[in-house]
Structure 1
Amino acid sequence: MVINDSQNWRMIDMKFAMIGAGAMGLRYGILLQEAGNDVTFIDTWQPHIDRIREQGGVYVMRDHKDRQLTKIKLETPESYNGDPDMFIFFVKQMQLDGYLKRCAHFFNDRQYAFTCMNGMGHIEKLQKYFADDKIIGGTALIATVLPGPGEVDFMGKRGAGKMNMCPLDEKPDEMTHKLFNELDKAQMHPTLTDDFTGTLMTKVIFNSVINTLCTMFEIPMGELGNFKGFYSMGRQLIDEAYDICARADIHLVSTRDEEMAALDRNVRIDMPLHYPSMYQDMIKDRPTEVDYINGYIAELGRKYHYEAATHLFVTQAVHLAEFHRQNEAKKRVAKKQAELQRQTA
């Protein structure tokens, strides 16, 4: 159910600190900055930090075109000492604990935390540092790529994509509406919902199909959508997840048919050339978040005495793809070392 956000809330600029200057962090932060907000980025990836400081900002593209330098404020957790209205968290699930510990010295009980991170498990970590009435969760259907240090590629035309958001206590306050207005000004197309867990889980289920299948076979979303077996594969994953959520009394924000229709539109029409973030992590030899997506669904199933066999299989299949790539990388290194030894013998 969607709440009608028709109240005339006062439009004011906000002060944000973006925890994580990766692909999505840069997209949200830069668009909020362009909408008139004060945004500081906080990151820990040193090659990225060095490149941004060296070139005086981030090179921003749209669909691989119109590469332009955008100036940003960038700090590390240790160098930042600001007091923003709101922190926005866009880091990988497995990185969040470390970021929170390094950033804890500038948190206070007045500040809010907002996140549209993939997967599940991050809200419990945020609750250790922020009160429930100051945590806002969300989901984003927005494609962005980080080609390398110091550059980002916004996929789709300006205004492409959409997102959902909901406060953890499901009681939107003035700050929730201020955030909504700023995201709307930034053309992120937010929708305010009234079921926190249902909102987040609906996106987890969405990602459990597209992210994992594209990553397993290293294909773009359009190729997945054009495969004649896509519907049956996707529906099997959706049905398992929806069955589990029914047992857990989680009220999802779309029906099974609506979820499948959204998947179909996303892969065939909206973003057929896009590779999901999980694939981007794997090909760059970074750990994937599959345990926080399909793995989370399977664990939730076990809690409610439901064996999510397909999600369990897909989770291990992604790990097998990671394992294979790691072995191939080791073989290439060993081959190169052997060639060097022969040349110097």
Structure 2
Amino acid sequence: MSISRMTIMGKGAIGLLYGSIAAAHAGADAVEYVMDDARFERHAHDELTINGEPCELRSVRASEARPAELLVFAVKATGLGAALDEAAPLVGPGTRIVSLLNGVTSEERIAERFGWDNVVLATAQGLDATFLSGELRYSCAGHIHLGAAADTKPGVVEDIADFFERAGVPYILEDDIRHRLWAKLMLNVGVNQTTMVYGGTYGSVTSEPEQIRCFVAAMREVRAVAAAEGVMLTEDELTGMFELCASMAPDGMPSMAQDRIAHRPTEVEEFSGTICALGRKHHVLTPQNAWLHERVRQIEASW
């Protein structure tokens, strides 16, 4: 199946980054953002700039959207339930589905709703996009890492990769996508939560001793939990994640640090919430993540 159009649920940093790239390479008609009526009225005509340049990207009401060929979920985990309801009328038997949500649980929730046939496993990594007050800034676009789940139909991953190739969206096909998802979770558990709790940036989390300690300790607990889940993450991979953050724009910040500034609900349950729950299941101690979870909830409550 040849895909000509990408329908995106979520017009935040990741959705805007990859949607704008696709629109620039494949044309404005190749990208469509879907919103519920209330959000459409509030945001459909907001002025948007990307790296300082004005950019127009098409948004439509969910009730008026066309059936999706490629459906990309780029909402926050806290909004996935509503996004699944809005997307349901758009999903047909040939709709290919990609989730770019953080964590390792979103694909299961999507497949519970639409089945596994056309759902792939994916994660976006290596980007440093920041979206605040209508302005998207990034210096690294990273890549979308793709792979088949156990029950994904043959050819689905290739259909999506073909569209990304034609649309200029950077991607990497993974032989072991579950390993990649856990490696990304290790990174997010460390950098997202640490920068949120300390009000930090990529620069501070890789240079200030206490933030480094927190960042690395949280990642090491993910390694231990992942091993109990049958996924072996190495110390070299952990070091690589640290070095990746050190290569980002020093004043850039991951999503949870942006949430702190904007006073938005965070995805803490996808990070320390998941790791602490699996730690209890496997009798693996996770004190750093327990502390991070408590601190994030305290900061959220202070708003």
TM-score when normalising by structure 1 = 0.79
- Shifted more, 230-239 versus 195-204: the winner is 230-239
The answer on 1:280 being equivalent to 2:265 is: no
1:76 aligns with 2:61: yes
State the partner residue of 1:42: 34
Structure 1 residue 105, shift from structure 2 partner: 2.2
Q: In terms of Rg, which structure is larger? A: 1
Q: Identify the residue that residue 260 of structure 1 maps to in structure 2.
A: 239
Which of the numbers 7, 16, 33 marks the counterpart of 2:6? Answer: 16
The equivalent residue for 1:329 is none
Query: How far, CA to CA, are the matches of 1:100 and 1:315 in structure 2?
Result: 26
Partner amino acid, structure 1, of 2:54: Q
Q: Percent identity?
A: 20
1:88 aligned counterpart, secondary structure:
strand
Alpha-carbon distance in structure 1 between the residues aligned to 2:227 and 2:284: 11
User: C-alpha root-mean-square deviation of aligned residues, in Å?
Assistant: 2.4
CA distance in 2, matches of 1:27, 1:289: 20
Deviation at 1:250, TM superposition (A): 2.2
Q: What's the CA shift string for 1:186-240, capped at 9, x where partnerless? A: 5543221122332212111101111111110112110121113454433322221
Judge conservation of contact 2:123–2:146 (CA < 8 Å) in 1: yes
Q: Check if 1:190 corresponds to 2:171.
A: yes
Find out whether 1:221 has 2:182 as its counterpart: no
The aligned residue for residue 204 of structure 1 is 185
Taking the aligned partners of 2:32 and 2:81, their CA distance within structure 1 comes to: 20
Is the aligned partner of 1:153 residue 2:139?
Answer: no
Give 3-state SS (helix, strand or coil) of 2:32's partner.
Answer: strand
**Code of the aligned partner of 2:176:** D
Q: Which residue number corresponds to residue 110 of structure 2?
A: 126
> Residues 170 and 100 (structure 1 numbering): CA distance in 2 closer, same or farther, change over 3 Å?
closer
Q: Is the 8 A contact 1:138 1:164 kept in 2?
A: yes
C-alpha contact 1:120 1:293 (8 A) present in aligned 2: no
Contact 1:144–1:152 (8 Å) recurs in 2: no
Give the Cα separation in 2 of the matches to 1:246 and 1:270. 28
Q: Distance in 1 between matches of 2:40 and 2:130?
A: 14
In structure 1, C-alpha distance between the alignment counterparts of 2:169 and 2:90, rounded to whole Å: 28
Partner residue in 2 for 1:4: none
Aligned residue pair count: 300
SS in 2 for 1:132: coil
Distance 1:173 1:273, change over 3 A: farther
Shift of 1:274: 0.7
Q: TM-score normalised to the size of structure 2?
A: 0.89
Matches within 5 A, 1:134-153: 134-141=118-125, 142-148=127-133, 151-153=134-136
SS of residue paired to 2:117: helix
After superposition, the Cα gap between the structure-2 partners of 1:147 and 1:230, relative to the gap in structure 1 and judged at 3 Å, is closer
Shift of 1:97: 0.8
Q: Does 1:31 align with 2:21?
A: yes
1:163 match: secondary structure: strand
- Letter paired with 1:291: E
